[in-house]
């Protein structure tokens, strides 16, 4: 998981890397661009996994979650953000509201029982 960098909205909150779709992009193209820009990885195999509408104070946002199963490169935090490899339950806090459903879906897939994350701070 990556921590939102200083100077950005929701700075300090933890999320899965990704970002906004440009008008001409597919979800896979946007994720490829964003992961290259944010963490220096070139993805080779990506599959749309789930969608979720999240009602943030500034906007209703449709989030597209993908699973990446093959990539090239070394993890490089290009925006000065922190990262942490996590397993359930995640130990990083606070977790961005749009990330909470993903943690529940991962728990469901893996059979994890219990809280998937710490309370948001």
* pLDDT tier at 121, thresholds 50, 70, 90: very low
User: For 14-33, how does the pLDDT look when each residue is reduced to its tens digit (9 = 90+)?
Assistant: 999 999 999 999 999 999 99
Q: What is the pLDDT of residue 117?
A: 84
Give the predicted TM-score (pTM) of the model. 0.88
Structural tokens at position 71: 């990539």
Q: What is the pLDDT of residue 5?
A: 92
User: For 34-91, how does the pLDDT look when each residue is reduced to its tens digit (9 = 90+)?
Assistant: 999 999 999 999 999 999 999 999 999 999 999 999 999 999 999 999 999 999 999 9
- Please choose, from the candidates 24, 80, 99, the residue with its C-alpha nearest in 3D space to the C-alpha of residue 116: 99
H-state helical runs in the chain: 27-39, 100-110
> 3-state class of 49 per DSSP?
strand
Q: What is the pLDDT of residue 119?
A: 56
CATH classification code of 2-83: 3.90.79.10
| Domain residue spans of the chain | 2-83
User: For 84-117, how does the pLDDT look when each residue is reduced to its tens digit (9 = 90+)?
Assistant: 999 999 999 999 999 999 999 999 999 999 999 8
Sign of CA dihedral 48, 44, 99, 18: negative
């Amino acid at each position: 998981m990556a921590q939102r960098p200083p100077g950005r909205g929701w700075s300090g909150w933890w999320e899965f890397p990704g970002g906004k779709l440009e008008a001409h992009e597919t979800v896979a193209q946007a994720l490829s661009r964003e992961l290259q820009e944010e963490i220096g990885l070139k993805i080779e195999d990506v599959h749309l996994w789930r969608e979720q509408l999240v009602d943030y104070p500034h906007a209703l946002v449709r989030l597209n979650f993908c699973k990446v199963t093959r990539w090239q490169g070394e993890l490089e935090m290009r925006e000065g953000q922190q990262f942490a490899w996590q397993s359930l339950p995640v130990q990083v806090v606070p977790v961005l509201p749009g990330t909470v459903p993903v943690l529940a879906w991962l728990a469901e897939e893996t059979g994890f029982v219990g809280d998937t994350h710490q309370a948001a701070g």
